[in-house]
Amino acid sequence: MKNIIIASTSTLHGGEYLEYLLPELSKHFKNCKTILFVPYARPSGISHEEYTAKAALAFAKINLAVKGIHEFADPISAIENAEGIFTGGGNTFVLVNELYKNNIATALSQAVKKGTPYLGTSAGSVICGLTMQTTNDMPIIYPPSFQTLGLIPFNINAHYLDPDTQSKHMGETRETRIKEFHAFNSFPVLGLREGSWLDVKGTKIRLKGSLSARLFRQNQIAEEIESETELSYIK
């Protein structure tokens, strides 16, 4: 049975890395001693080692060890034997490229579908959807495919921002960009605001956190989804 947390962000304004999620993570990974960390997204271009150390510092607060997937000679075996898995945020293009480069996208999807507890934040959450096409990141590298893990039957837009009616900025809003996506693609997109996450248990998907999310469907008016709503109907 799938057991997944899909979080918009790792860090809330003014908080420490993963701090707001730690009470949830202590339950989510209750049967684990060590978490396999996928640091491929490299936020701000930091190294795999630096990123893994950052994750390890956070998980130590709930008495869990962390080991980076880059430390294993056989990453597929590492995934298959992992007690729990965390994919951190950063650049989604870099992350997806590395998943394909290391030939682990299928192994990762299969492990999570079989029940290995999984946490994704930001880019690590975007890859839970059908494709990475609704990421906010710059395409700094070209992955072999935009197809991702398909753990949920829709796409994620992490860090979703509402239009600021007081701003003089004339660039595209997130809503505009998602409408552009829907000019060529039919599947739904869920905009996850900061501090929100999806709790996936088997076929059940529930919105968690204090904020609503915004659901976009092709050729339909976007709708607000309240926290604690069960989202398995979205397809």
* Strands of the 213-216 sheet, one edge to the other: 155-157, 189-191, 213-216, 223-225
Say if strands 3-7 and 197-201 run parallel, antiparallel, or are unpaired: antiparallel
- Contacts of residue 4, defined as CB under 8 A and 6 or more positions apart, other chains included, come to 112, 117, 118, 119, 120, 128, 151, 198, 199, 200
Among the listed residues 28, 137, 182, 196, the single catalytic one is 137
169 has catalytic annotation: no
What 8-state DSSP symbol labels residue 147? B
Residue among 10, 122, 125, 196 flagged as catalytic: 122
Confirm whether 122 is a catalytic residue: yes
> Whose CA is closest to 136, among 168, 173, 99?
173
109 is catalytic: no
Catalytic residue of the set 26, 48, 159, 212: 159
User: What residues are labeled active site?
Assistant: 122, 137, 159
